[in-house]
Amino acid sequence: GITFRIQISVKEVLDTDVVLKLLFHLPVNYPSTLPDISVSSDQLTRTQCMDVKDKLLEQAKKHLPEPMVHDLILWIQQHLKYVIKQSATVCNENTLSKATSTEDGIWMLLLHLDHMRAKAKYVKTVEKWASDLRLTGRLMFMGKIILILLQGDRSNIKEYLILQKTSKVDVDSSGKKCKEKMISVLCEAKVQSQHKRFQTFEVKEYSTLDGLQREFETAGLTTLFSEFVPPLLK
């Protein structure tokens, strides 16, 4: 089969242009069988991209066994705002029940990164993942130490870890995009009653170890700091 990528811009959605990147893989027996479709966009969440993909596959089934890619592109250009609106509605309906069912099961994750070569892009990517997965916490820089502390639903934390390990988030020494291979999971545990919940996800830089320590102490995570951070200085 063949694989090709198409990028389209859809106007008048949420008062902004949405750029959709569509990847079609046409198997050898296409159009008798459905194409594989991947959807990505910097303006949409992962959930919205999945909803767009599902709707495209629904439409594709209606076109079997005729060639359909052109029709699918036209369809999503006309219907994207409805797909997004529907997605947001479903999300809002689920928020209350999900919050109730997972409040007792909030987890935290502490990661150590060895370095960031493309820092600005890397930071922006981490912020987007945290936002998409409704995770709060801190991305912390102190000297050469880089830590990511996350809190949220355990399944979302698991998904974040998969993204962190499988996505091309940085560049190597020659400037090519590469996956994060120098990452350590220092701690993954359930948030206890003495721990303070972070309300937002923030990027912070500290000039001293004391400043970094105070961040942990404010969140009731003094033990976490003393157990995992000082060894990183050795």
132-138: long-range contacts (C-beta < 8 A, 24 or more apart)?
A: 132/45, 132/46, 132/47, 133/46, 133/157, 133/159, 133/160, 135/160, 135/201, 136/197, 136/198, 136/199, 136/200, 136/201, 137/108, 137/198, 137/201, 138/198, 138/201, 138/202, 138/203, 138/204, 138/215
- pLDDT for 36: 92
pLDDT in the model for residue 180? 67
Residue 97 placed within a domain: no
- Read off the pLDDT of residues 89-111 as tens digits, 9 standing for 90 and up: 554 444 444 444 444 478 999 99
Q: Report yes or no on whether pTM surpasses 0.75.
A: no
Q: Are residues 117 and 145 in the same domain?
A: yes
- Whether 28 and 116 map to the same domain: the answer is no
Q: What is the CATH number of the domain that holds 65?
A: 3.10.110.10
Mark whether 171 and 68 lie in a shared domain. no
- Residue 72 lies in domain: 2-88
Hey, is 106 helix, strand or coil?
A: strand
Q: What single-letter amino acid sits at 19?
A: V
Task: Answer whether 83's CB lies under 8 Å from 59's CB.
Answer: no
Answer with the one of 38, 53, 88 that is the final residue of a domain: 88
Composition of the chain by helix, strand, coil, percent to 5: 45, 30, 25
Domain shared by 9 and 117, yes or no: no
Question: Could you give the 3-state DSSP secondary structure of residue 229?
Answer: coil
Same domain, 184 and 69: no
The pLDDT of residue 94 is 46
User: Is 180 inside a domain boundary?
Assistant: yes
Q: Hey, which residues does 26 pair with through a beta bridge?
A: 2
**Phi, psi dihedral angles at 143 (to 5 degrees):** 60, -125
Do 83 and 10 form a contact (C-beta atoms < 8 A)? no
Burial class (CB in 10 A: 0-12, 13-18, 19+), 147: buried
Residues 130 and 190 in one domain: yes
Question: In terms of domains, do 146 and 46 share one?
Answer: no
The single-letter code of the amino acid at 149 is: L
- pLDDT at 148 (0 to 100): 93
At 60 the pLDDT is: 94
Would residue 100 count as lying in a domain?
no
What is the predicted pLDDT for the residue at 46?
A: 82
- Split into its structural domains, the chain has a count of 2
Positions in the chain whose pLDDT score sits under 70: 12-16, 86-104, 170-172, 178, 180-182
CATH number, residue 111: 3.30.70.100
pLDDT value of position 191: 82
Angle at 160 between CA 10 and CA 205, to 5 degrees: 95
